[in-house]
Structure 1
Amino acid sequence: MSQANPQQEQGESQGKEFLVFTLANQEYGIDILKVQEIRGYDSQTVTRIANVPSFIKGVTNLRGVIVPIVDLRLKFNMDNVEYTSQTVVVILNVRSRVVGVVVDGVSDVLILQPSQISAAPQFGSAFSTEHLTGIGTVGERMLILVDIEKLMTSEEMSLVEDAVA
């Protein structure tokens, strides 16, 4: 009877799972523990709200819960894109609030070890990187790792709550 290598077990337990999604041909990763579900994007079920930032597409009713829908392309100041059959909404639990983010598509779930994650680059005051946790590398792939809680700031979410209330 052979025993498991304790070092190997420790390394595996330090890995963190990320849901990988794409925006404009760039891959991003968010903590899988924040993800509640993934749904196809249907603009017919999103109700637009007046006087909210343009990146907030509106709200939808998800099994009795009113969920704000944020388009990450618009939030990241990217070119607008046509919504396709690949466009999805990732439903997240962020600070005990349910929110949906529209992304171009999801590809997979990856486990990254600490050695595969580099610190987020600093660009000075011209560009804020406070919502980035780092850059993940898997072979030739590079993932921009996003701290979804910092990205979905309470100030922005309060705009949605005020509009819905």
Structure 2
Amino acid sequence: MTIDTSGAPIEALTFDLRGETFALEAGLVREVLDLLPETGVPGAPPFVSAVINFRGRIIPLVDLRVAFDMEATAATIDSRIVVIEYDLDGEPTLIGLRADKVHEVTTIDRAITEEAPRVGLQWRADFIRLLARRDGDVIVIPDLDQIFAARGQSTVTVTPFNALQA
């Protein structure tokens, strides 16, 4: 895949996960929230182990740290939930993403972006859409399509009640 470095800059919300800076296209972001009460979902994979009530709607709460094999940490005063609207299976879906700290909406020039190298990364390269270098730091722009396809699937097998009686 060739990255278009001549295209328009990316307007992105930057946030931290375990001390690493990540960014999401600002157009996906609907709201940044303080932490809300969570309801655990029995049998759900750790990637989406809870739901929250967002303005009267129950939405999944995703932990991208799980996708990137990072250790989960306790919430702090800086922890936030970033609510995005993302197209899943052709349907616009509200999803909450955990963030250790939310920074700002910023412009990322396409000229400073590059593909993730196939070797030498601590994370799956297919989970990273782009890397951007700015002020000596690296900003990771995740590939949500790949992450949701790989990690969003439940590993729980449901056995129909009829099969248990056989």
What residue ranges of structure 2 are gaps of 5+ in the alignment?
A: 159-166
Residue 149 of structure 1 aligns to a residue whose secondary structure is helix
Q: TM-score, normalised by structure 2?
A: 0.78
1:14-53 deviations in Å (ceiling 9; x for gaps): 11111111011110111111111100123xx211111110
Partner of 1:149: 145
Which residue, out of 15, 30, 38, partners 2:9? 15
Moved over 3 A (4+): none
Deviation track 1:78-126 (CA, whole Å, cap 9, x = no partner) reads 12211011010100111011100101011112211211101111139x9
The structure that is helix-richer by fraction is: 1
Is 1:91–1:100's contact at 8 Å kept on the other side of the alignment? yes
Whole-Å Cα distance in 2 between the matches of residues 32 and 148 of structure 1? Answer: 14
TM-score for the superposition, normalised by structure 1? 0.78
Alignment of 1:1-165 (within 5 A): 14-42=8-36, 45-95=37-87, 96-123=92-119, 128-153=124-149, 156=152
Structure 1 residues 157 and 32, CA gap change in structure 2 (3 angstroms): farther
Distance 1:39 1:119 in 2: 31
For these two proteins, the number of residue pairs brought into alignment is 147
Post-superposition shift, 1:55? 2.4
- What runs of 5+ residues in structure 1 fail to find an aligned partner? 1-10
Q: In the alignment, is the contact (CA less than 8 A) between 2:45 and 2:154 conserved in 1?
A: no
- What is the RMSD computed on CA atoms of the aligned residues? 2.6
Q: Deviations over 1:118-159 (max 9, x none)?
A: 1111139x9632221111112222101112233223872678
